[in-house]
Amino acid sequence: MWLAGGLFMAWLAPQNLRSVDRLLDQNNPSAFLPFKPALLPAARTLLRYQAAEQNRFYFESWEVAQVMLGAFFFFYLLFGTREDKFSLFMVLFMLGVTLFQRLWMTPQASSLGRVTDFLAAGANSVERVKLHVLHTGYLAMELVKLGVGLALGLRLILGHRQTRSEQDIRKELDLINKANYRHINR
């Protein structure tokens, strides 16, 4: 669910922004009666702002859901399975990346996005460059989480090799549980 949700969000955000252009490029006269042709650029800017605010809300909500999913998954692996420390570390790493995104990157990107939403399309600004750097960093972190999540999924599905001491302990426990093991005093 965690990985699928991340892929869904990567698809959803650009679709929200493209929906503004799809809406305004249609030739539906009843949709444009309230707008004079001179007001269409202002309407486009306002609708893009609304789509960007919707994306910000979706990302904040998804990050909170990821933190809850990650905490649940970590505690499930810790108490419900026999997974090793490396698998637990992988989940904690993904959870840490998500917390960093939620607590630092998303608020920064949201505030910079609100500043740049009403700038002219071709205008260059320091805020727009910072926002681009944050988006690139966010995307890189999402790709790292995806890679770690896929590696963890493969590790959980295919299993991992047990260390020698784990194998010895399990053999000793199996011997004790055998009913015909004669040298145990009953």
Q: Kindly state the percentage of the chain with pLDDT values over 90.
A: 49
Question: Which two structure tokens, joined as six digits, stand for 140?
Answer: 């890189």
| Percentage with pLDDT > 70 across the chain | 78
pTM: 0.76
Reported as a pLDDT band with limits 50, 70 and 90, residue 45 is confident
Does residue 52 surpass a pLDDT of 80?
yes
Half-sphere exposure of 65 (CA within 13 A, CB side): 13
Q: What is the mean pLDDT of the chain?
A: 84
First to last CA, the chain: 49
Number of C-beta neighbours around residue 103 at 10 A: 11
In the chain, how long is the greatest CA-to-CA distance?
95
Reported as a single tens digit per residue, the pLDDT across 96-151 is 999 999 999 999 999 999 999 888 777 788 999 999 999 999 999 999 999 999 99
Q: Is the pLDDT of residue 11 over 90?
A: yes
| Angle of the 40-80 helix axis to the 106-116 helix axis, nearest 10 | 180
pLDDT tens-place string over residues 71-95 = 999 999 999 888 889 999 999 999 9
In DSSP notation, 18-55 reads: HHHHHHHHS--HHHHTTS-GGGHHHHHHHHHHHHHHHH
